[in-house]
Amino acid sequence: MSNVKITHNAGFFSCCSVKLYRIVEFINSNKKIPDFVDSSQQFKWYKNDKSKDITFDFFENYNNITDVNIIHPINYNHGHQFKNYSNLDYNIQPLIKKYFSPSDEIKDTMNHIEKKYNLKYENICVLFYRGNDKNTETKKCGYHEYLKYANQLLQENPNIIFLIQSDETEFIDFMTNLFPNSFYFKDEIRHMKHCKDTVDKKMSSQNYEFSKKYLAITIIMSKCNFIICGSGNCDIWIMLYRGNNKNVIQNLNGTWYSSPQF
């Protein structure tokens, strides 16, 4: 039996990125999918019981997903979080479907959020800013830099609504004050004043509950018509669930990249 075992632990989407990379490594080397993918020792930050495997609390069991056509070789590694997302290998989509499709609980959470906030994806632009400790890994732009692209979109699409998503309270306040036609998920996210730490460490007792909500929100963001974002594991997973970078503007180490369709 051919197995892949992953033991990397860090933030939720860092765990996902390394897991995906290890699966890609196996497929590229063996030209087939593994018989068994063991991530039981991952996601420790999010476990109330450290001995429990919580993988399928988040994701559909991959054995239940058989209608996928894996294309190899696949160009992906976990460092691609800091890459121009126009250059990602989106042939990876079948792997996302097989190993990272949301569980029924996550789907229910998505449905609840969609109804609660009356989401109309075709009219939504996401303004996503992953800040705080991410500033130690990459050069983050100032909040005001988002305005050029947000205002351009608003001029071209007067009915657009901005979904503000961030772990920094100041970003949420800055954008919601500027754009009356904006909202954020008040009850479903955690955020804090700018610092060099993470909500997962500052509010660790809530990690299991809010990581499930955040996975649902990440998939929701991927379905929105327009996205203005930065670069990191959270950002790249929006792209991986989206399956393309259409209508995406990305800031990477101080440089802005626009998709051809934007």
Q: Which residue has the tokens 């950002």?
A: 235
Give the pLDDT confidence score for residue 134 in this predicted structure: 76
| pLDDT digit string, tens, across residues 179-214 | 999 999 999 999 989 888 899 888 999 999 999 999
Give the pLDDT confidence score for residue 192 in this predicted structure: 85
The whole-angstrom separation of Cα 10 and Cα 221 is 22
Per-domain residue ranges of the chain: 3-105, 114-258
Q: What is the CATH number of domain 114-258?
A: 3.40.50.11350
Per-residue 3-state assignment (H helix, E strand, C coil) for 111-130? HHHHHHCCCCHHHEEEEEEC
The whole-angstrom separation of Cα 245 and Cα 259 is 6
Residues 6+ apart with CB under 8 A from 182: 127, 161, 162, 163, 164, 175, 176
Give the pLDDT confidence score for residue 67 in this predicted structure: 87
Name the packing angle between helices 12-30 and 207-222 (round to 10°): 60
Give the pLDDT confidence score for residue 66 in this predicted structure: 92
Task: With a cut of 70, list the residues of the chain below it in pLDDT.
Answer: 1, 261-262
Give the pLDDT confidence score for residue 262 in this predicted structure: 63
| pLDDT digit string, tens, across residues 20-54 | 999 999 999 999 999 999 999 999 999 999 999 99
The predicted model scores a pTM of 0.96
Tokens linked to 162 = 């901005």
